[in-house]
Amino acid sequence: MKANKARIIFHLDMNSFYASVETAYHPAYKGKPLAVAGNPEERKGIIITSNYEARAKGVKTTMPIWQARKLCPELIILRPNFERYRYASSEIFKILNSITPFVEPVSIDEGYMDVTDATSPSNTLQLAEELQHKIKRELDLPCSIGIAPNKFLAKMASDMKKPMGITILRKRDIPMMLWPLPVAEMYGVGKKTAEKLNTMDIHTIGDLAEADVYQLKQLLGINGERLKNRANGIDLRPVDPDAVNEFKSIGSSETLPVDTTDANEIRSLLTALAQNVESRMKRKHAAGRSVQLTIRYHDRSTITRSKKLPNYIEKKEDILKVAFELFDLHWNLEPIRLLGVTVQDIEEKQNIAQQLDLFTYKKDAEKEKLYDAIDKLTQKFGKNPFVEVKEEVNQQPKTSFQKDFLDDYRK
């Protein structure tokens, strides 16, 4: 790319992604109000996402299912199928990658593309239209695309017209298109940050663009200056295809159907979570040096406790040992609503130079042979033959917020 060439960045954002994937799989649902939600029989029964037909009836994300049904009695409610969504996501990013290698996935349903060398300014809109139509034609999925000279403006642009919108946001358009918007609608400004900015009489993005940088830094630290730059359309970040590889943790969490103090139920869930983390680390050929335990109690108060380890770990047994230790130390015996296990300080195994001393080498080598044998048997019989039935784990991903799969489209 020529250094003096103006950048052309796309931000692609899938519209009602989960609901759209379900409609693509079930064409009979097209044109009908549809939502993806947790299990209606359990407390997790809240709306994860809904299509535009459901939104027109007032159905919103995080709304309890009973409330959604009251607003829209004919609402079709499906449980999430994250494997299905991951597959669709992978196919989308393959299409993006066929246009340019400069693709940066951000989440399961959005990503950036640097198309500076893939098009000319006069053909940019045509390329976006062709991309949008290709995804709709081949995958039956709608998307919106923001076009801008940098990532921040492209992200803001993609939110301006949904569904199936294409919006160009040039720097000269900022005073008219960006500055009148409420500061709370600015990407990178959360609810608490917006409230802080309001105390400085900053209510629009335009107010932020003109605010005193010193006062902003006093209020928000270095982020204050960064947000002011973004409000003025300044964002030098490159589209980085390898950014997704910079994951530093892999975790798994689960909300219990009923608040519990049952030690057996708790330990069974921790075992399942550790198994899930091991499986995901295995996919990424990674290991970590820290284990974090999250406990959310019946009153929604939440604690996180972690332990740094002398060596990298990757096996369920090692993860579970630390998780049990942290749990025994920090559980206050109150009923538990949610548990989470996360391995942090992640590195790819090829980057880890394991320090094996004379006393541990033989044991580690023997363990590897055992693990290899178990893996082969698992592949043959479909599950670990040495794990009791009560410890079997559903390998279905529990959340869309896991990011360690986002580069699978390259494989």
> Any residues with CB less than 8 A from the CB of 180 and at least 6 apart, and which?
204, 205, 206
Report residue 407's pLDDT band, with 50, 70 and 90 as the boundaries. low
* Highest averaged pLDDT of the listed ranges 198-212, 254-268, 369-383: 198-212
SS (H, E, C) 225-247: HHHHHHHCCCCCCCCCCCHHHCC
Report residue 247's pLDDT band, with 50, 70 and 90 as the boundaries. low
- pLDDT for position 305: 93
12 neighbors 158 (Cβ within 8 angstroms) = yes
- pLDDT for position 387: 41
Task: Check whether 13 is labelled as a binding-site residue.
Answer: yes
Query: Which of 195-204, 207-216, 337-346 shows the lowest per-residue confidence on average (mean pLDDT)?
Result: 337-346
- pLDDT for position 384: 46
| pLDDT, tens digit (0-9, with 9 covering 90-100), for 207-246 | 999 999 999 999 999 999 999 999 999 999 999 987 766 6
13 neighbors 143 (Cβ within 8 angstroms) = yes
> Average pLDDT over the chain, rounded to whole?
85
Report residue 191's pLDDT band, with 50, 70 and 90 as the boundaries. confident
The CA–CA distances, whole Å, from 338 to 64, 160, 330 equal 18, 36, 14
H or E segment at 223? helix 222-231
> Any residues with CB less than 8 A from the CB of 179 and at least 6 apart, and which?
204, 205, 206, 209, 231
Task: Check whether 159 is labelled as a binding-site residue.
Answer: no
Average pLDDT over residues 261-281: 92
Report residue 257's pLDDT band, with 50, 70 and 90 as the boundaries. confident
385 neighbors 377 (Cβ within 8 angstroms) = yes
Report residue 356's pLDDT band, with 50, 70 and 90 as the boundaries. very low
| pLDDT, tens digit (0-9, with 9 covering 90-100), for 284-326 | 788 999 999 999 998 888 899 999 998 899 999 999 999 999 9
- pLDDT for position 385: 43
Report residue 379's pLDDT band, with 50, 70 and 90 as the boundaries. low
Residue 250 has pLDDT above 80, yes or no: yes
Q: Residue 322 half-sphere exposure, CB side, CA atoms within 13 Å?
A: 28
- pLDDT for position 395: 41
Catalytic residues: 110
- pLDDT for position 299: 86
Query: Which of 41-50, 178-187, 297-306 shows the lowest per-residue confidence on average (mean pLDDT)?
Result: 41-50
Which residue ranges form the domains of the chain, and what is each CATH number?
Answer: 1-169 (3.30.70.270), 172-240 (1.10.150.20), 244-410 (3.30.1490.100)
| pLDDT, tens digit (0-9, with 9 covering 90-100), for 71-110 | 999 999 998 888 899 899 999 999 999 999 999 999 899 9
Q: Rounded to whole angstroms, how far apart are CA atoms 18 and 20?
A: 5
Residue 58 has pLDDT above 70, yes or no: yes
Please name which of 10, 31, 14, 53 lies closest in space to residue 141, comparing C-alpha atoms.
14
Neighbours of 280 (CB within 10 A): 19
- pLDDT for position 43: 47
- pLDDT for position 248: 75
Report residue 165's pLDDT band, with 50, 70 and 90 as the boundaries. very high
- pLDDT for position 392: 34
Report residue 409's pLDDT band, with 50, 70 and 90 as the boundaries. low
Average pLDDT over residues 340-355: 76
Question: What letter represents residue 16's amino acid?
Answer: S
Average pLDDT over residues 143-155: 97
Q: Residue 115 half-sphere exposure, CB side, CA atoms within 13 Å?
A: 29
Residue 397 has pLDDT above 70, yes or no: no
Pairing of strands 347-348, 47-50: unpaired
- pLDDT for position 210: 96
Report residue 347's pLDDT band, with 50, 70 and 90 as the boundaries. confident
- pLDDT for position 348: 78
- pLDDT for position 377: 60
Question: What percent of the chain stands above pLDDT 70?
Answer: 82
Pairing of strands 110-114, 9-14: antiparallel
